[in-house]
Amino acid sequence: MNDTQLLSLDLNGKVALIVGGGAGMGEQSALKLGAAGCSVVVADVDQRAAQNVAAKITANSGKATAFVGDALDSANVADLISRIEQQVGGIDILVCIVGQAHWSQFLDLSLADFDRDHHRNLRYVFAVSQAVARSIVKRGAKGAFVFIASVSGVQSAPNHAAYGAAKAGLMNLVRSMSVELAEKNIRVNAVAPGAIATPRILASFPEGEASPALSVMLRTIPMGRMGQPEDIGNAVLFLSSALARYITGQTLIVDGGLTAGLSLGTIKPDVTPPVK
C-alpha cells in the first residue's frame, strides 16, 4: 500500500478466530470483524451461542463459521486450530475474549482459586496464541493478535488479587510476544476494558439501574456511564486493521476515563475540601 493512500478497516480475505465469540464483547468483536470483510470463526463452548453469532454475520452478507471447543483445555487447542485451518483456512487474526474473575478477600483466597483465575485469563491465551503463531510463521503469513485484558491489571482492586495478577501477567505476555514476534510479522496488542455492560456484568446488579452499587461505581467513571460491548469490538477492530500497522506490544485502555484520575473514594462531589 502506498503511504499516500488512505488506510482503512478493510480486512477482506483475512481469517479471524474469536475465542469466546458467543456473547458480549466476543460477539461484538466478531460482528465488527465480519463487517470489515473477515471470514470469522466464532469459537465458543456454547454451540448455540456460536451459531447465533455466525448467523448474524452471514445475514449481513458476511462470512462466518461456528466452532465448538474449550480453549481452556490445552489438550483441545491443537485439534481446534487444525480443524479451523482445514475447514476455513489459515488464521490471520486471533482475538482471545475468554476471561473470568473470582472475587475473594486476599486472606481467604485459596491456591486453587488463584490457579483457576490464571488458567482462565492467562494460561490458555499462551497456549492458543503459540499454536496460531507457529501456524502463521510456517505459512510465511502476517498476523495480528488482540487479547482482552482489564483495568484490574492496570490498577489494583479489592478482592481481585488473583484476577488482577492474571491480567497484569497477560499484558506483560503481550509485550514479550510482541518483541519476539515482530520479526515474524505478527503484531500483538491488548484491550483493557473498564466497566462494560455485558449480560454477565449486568446480572451482578439484581436491582438493575436502581442498584446502589451501580450508582457508586458510575461515580468513579468520568464519563458517567458503563461502556458497551460494541466499544470493545471497535477497539479490537482497530488493532486488527491496517490502521494499527505500526502498533504492537500495547494495551489500549477503554474505560471511560476510569484509570485516568485519582479516585476520591467516599468524598461527596458537593463537599469542598478546606484550603490550608
Domains of the chain and any CATH numbers: 15-195+228-256 (3.40.50.720)
Gap between the Cα atoms of 196 and 231, Å rounded: 9
For the annotated catalytic residues, the residue numbers are: 163
Contact 118, 173 (CB under 8 A): no
Q: What confidence score (pLDDT) does residue 1 get? A: 46
- C-alpha closest to that of 94 among 53, 135, 48: 135
Q: How confident is the model at residue 58 (pLDDT cuts 50, 70, 90)?
A: very high
The residue written with cell numbers 502463521 in the block is: 136
Q: Distances from the Cα of 266 to the Cαs of 119, 182, 205, 249, in angstroms?
A: 35, 45, 20, 36
* 8 Å CB contact between 261 and 230: no
* pLDDT band at residue 261 using 50, 70 and 90 as cut-offs: confident
Let me know: does 54 contact 64? Beta carbons within 8 Å: yes
Contact predicate 27/196, CB 8 Å: no
Nearest CA-CA partner of 174 in 140, 137, 142, 144: 144
Q: What is the pLDDT of residue 275?
A: 46
- What is the reported pTM? 0.90
pLDDT in tens, 149-185: 999 899 887 888 999 999 999 999 999 999 999 999 9
**C-alpha to C-alpha distance for 37 and 57, rounded to whole angstroms:** 10
